[in-house]
Chain A
C-alpha cells in the first residue's frame, strides 16, 4: 500500500513539476501584458524538437548522447526558445499594445497554427521517439518503482523554479520585472525601461517552457507536433488555479493539478465501479478549473481585485 502511494506521489510530482514549469511562462506574461499567450504551448513543443535536433545533428546521433551534450543542449534550447519568444513579442504583440486585448491573443493563435504546421512540414506529423536525457535506471523503494528520469525531472524543474524565484527576488533585473508586473504605467513614469522588462519576460518564460518540453518528451519518450495543445491548456489551467500573474501561484497550481489528475485517474474507475474509465483524465483539469474559479475567482494565491479599483473598464 505504501509502495502504491509512493508510486503515485512520484508520478504526481513529475507531471506536476512539468506543468508548473510551463505555467510560469503563462503567468509571467499575463502578469505584465494581461495576455493569454496562446503561442506558449507551441514554444513548449519547439523546446522538445530543438533539443532533438541538436542532439541528433549537432552531437552525432541521438543514441550516444553524453551528459555534456545534454547539458549544452539544455542551455542552447533555453536560449533558442527564449529568443523565439522575444521575437514573437516584438513582431506580433508589440504593435498591438494600443489595440483591444483580443487582438494580441488572436495573433498568438495565428502564430500557434504557424509553428505547429511548420513543425509538421519539417519534421513530419508522426510522433518521434524521444530519448531519456537521464540515465535510465530504476530504483525500487518500498515496492514502488521510481525511474531516474522521474527523479531527474523533479529535481531539475524544482531547481529551475528556485533559480527563477531567486532571480525575481534578489537581482536588479528581477526587481525590474516585478515593478513592471505591478504597474507598467507607473514603471514607465519612474523611468524604467518597460520594453526591456517585457523582452526579459518573453525570454525567460518561453525558455522555461521550452525546457518543460524537453522534460515532458523524455518522460513520455515521445514528441509530436500537436503535443503542446493539451499540455499548454493544462498548464494555463494550473496558472489560473494558483492565481494568474503570481509566480509562486503558478508553481503551486502546477503541482496541485498534477496531484488532482493523478489521484483522479487512479481513483475514478474504482469509485465509479469501472463505468468511468481513465479516458476521462483530461476532464479533471477543466472540472477543477471551473470549480476553483466559481468559488475563488482569483485563484489560490491571486490578489483580490475589487471592481471599483479596476484599471480597465472593458474586458474585450
Chain B
C-alpha cells in the first residue's frame, strides 16, 4: 500500500498552482502539508480527490494512477477527505451522515432492502451499530438523531472527520481540520487524530496551526509558491531557516509574530492574527 504524488503539475490557465511536486506517503504515518496561504495545499487535495484535473504527472494509489477516475471512484478506491469549509449533509441526522457514507457499494442491493423486509431490518441494524460505534469514539453519540446543521461548529468538524473515516479509507486527507476550533477543541482533535493512526492508513493533514502540526505529524512537507520547499521531521522543519523565512517571513516579521503569540493567552489563536481567516459559516 502506497500513496504518492509523482511529478505533479497543475496549471490554471497560465498560472502554475503546483509545479512538479513529488511526495511519497508511507502507511502508518501522519503527514502534514504546510505552507503559507496560496502555496497550493488545497489544490493538492482537490487534485487527489478528483475535483481538479492534473495537468502533468501522476497521483498514484498502490501504483495505480488516480487520474481519469471519477470522484466517486476515487472515493471507492479508498481515499476520503474533509473540506476546508465544512460540507455536511445539513438536513440529515448525524447518524444518517455516517450511514450514507458507510458503504456506497451497498446501493446495489437497494431492491432487496425495499422488497425483503427482514433483509432491510438486518441491514439497517448493522449500519446503525457500525456508525454508532464511531460516533461514540468521536463523542457524538448523544446527538445521533440531531440534524447536522444544528450541531455546534466544533462538533460539525468532528462529524465531518467521522464521515470520512466510516468507510475505512486507506488515505485520509484532512483539509484544515482545526480551522475555527478553540484551543480546547484543538487539543481533543489532536488526541483523536493520533488514535486514528493505522498500519494500513496514510493520514495527511493540511493545517495552519503549527502547534498542532508539530505535535501531530511524523513527517512534514513544506510547500511554497506551488513547489516543494522542504521535507522532514517536525524538529528538522523547525530548525530549517529557509522554511522559517518562507512560511513565517523574515526575522523582522518573526519578531512581530512572537509579539502576537504572547496574546494567545487572551484565547485567540495565532492563526487568526497571521491572516488565516477561520472558515466560519
Which of A's residues lie within 8 Å of B, judged by CB?
Answer: 307-308, 313
User: In the assembled complex, which residues on chain A have CB atoms less than 8 Å from the CB atom of B46?
Assistant: 308
Cβ of B51 < 8 Å from any Cβ of A? Answer: yes
User: In the assembled complex, which residues on chain A have CB atoms less than 8 Å from the CB atom of B11?
Assistant: none
Cβ of B87 < 8 Å from any Cβ of A? Answer: yes
User: In the assembled complex, which residues on chain A have CB atoms less than 8 Å from the CB atom of B87?
Assistant: 313
Cα-based distance from A313 to B89 in the complex (angstroms): 9
A314: shortest Cβ distance to chain B, in Å?
Answer: 8
Count of residues in B whose CB is under 8 Å from the partner chain = 4
Q: Do most interface residues of chain B lie in helix, strand or loop, or is the interface mixed?
A: loop
* 5 A-B pairs whose Cβ atoms sit less than 8 Å apart in the complex: A307-B51, A308-B46, A308-B51, A313-B87, A313-B90
User: In the assembled complex, which residues on chain B have CB atoms less than 8 Å from the CB atom of A307?
Assistant: 51
Which of B's residues lie within 8 Å of A, judged by CB?
Answer: 46, 51, 87, 90
Q: Do most interface residues of chain A lie in helix, strand or loop, or is the interface mixed?
A: helix
User: In the assembled complex, which residues on chain B have CB atoms less than 8 Å from the CB atom of A308?
Assistant: 46, 51
B240: shortest Cβ distance to chain A, in Å?
Answer: 32
4 smallest beta-carbon distances between A and B, as pairs: A308-B51, A313-B87, A308-B46, A307-B51
Cα-based distance from A300 to B46 in the complex (angstroms): 28
Residue on B nearest A313 in the bound complex, by CB: B87
Residue on B nearest A307 in the bound complex, by CB: B51
Cα-based distance from A307 to B90 in the complex (angstroms): 18
Residue on A nearest B51 in the bound complex, by CB: A308
Cα-based distance from A313 to B92 in the complex (angstroms): 14
B96: shortest Cβ distance to chain A, in Å?
Answer: 16
B72: shortest Cβ distance to chain A, in Å?
Answer: 14
User: In the assembled complex, which residues on chain A have CB atoms less than 8 Å from the CB atom of B51?
Assistant: 307-308
Cα-based distance from A21 to B271 in the complex (angstroms): 52
A186: shortest Cβ distance to chain B, in Å?
Answer: 16
A310: shortest Cβ distance to chain B, in Å?
Answer: 11
A57: shortest Cβ distance to chain B, in Å?
Answer: 53
User: In the assembled complex, which residues on chain A have CB atoms less than 8 Å from the CB atom of B90?
Assistant: 313
User: In the assembled complex, which residues on chain B have CB atoms less than 8 Å from the CB atom of A313?
Assistant: 87, 90
Cα-based distance from A308 to B83 in the complex (angstroms): 10
Cα-based distance from A313 to B148 in the complex (angstroms): 14
Cα-based distance from A313 to B86 in the complex (angstroms): 11
Residue on B nearest A308 in the bound complex, by CB: B51
Residue on A nearest B83 in the bound complex, by CB: A308
B45: shortest Cβ distance to chain A, in Å?
Answer: 11
A164: shortest Cβ distance to chain B, in Å?
Answer: 32
Cα-based distance from A308 to B49 in the complex (angstroms): 12
Cα-based distance from A313 to B91 in the complex (angstroms): 12
B281: shortest Cβ distance to chain A, in Å?
Answer: 11
Cα-based distance from A309 to B87 in the complex (angstroms): 13
Cα-based distance from A274 to B46 in the complex (angstroms): 54
B39: shortest Cβ distance to chain A, in Å?
Answer: 18
Cα-based distance from A313 to B85 in the complex (angstroms): 12
Cα-based distance from A11 to B90 in the complex (angstroms): 52
Cα-based distance from A307 to B51 in the complex (angstroms): 9
Residue on A nearest B46 in the bound complex, by CB: A308
Cα-based distance from A307 to B50 in the complex (angstroms): 12
A268: shortest Cβ distance to chain B, in Å?
Answer: 39
A151: shortest Cβ distance to chain B, in Å?
Answer: 45
Cα-based distance from A313 to B51 in the complex (angstroms): 15
Cα-based distance from A264 to B56 in the complex (angstroms): 45
Residue on A nearest B89 in the bound complex, by CB: A313
Cα-based distance from A102 to B49 in the complex (angstroms): 31
Residue on A nearest B91 in the bound complex, by CB: A314
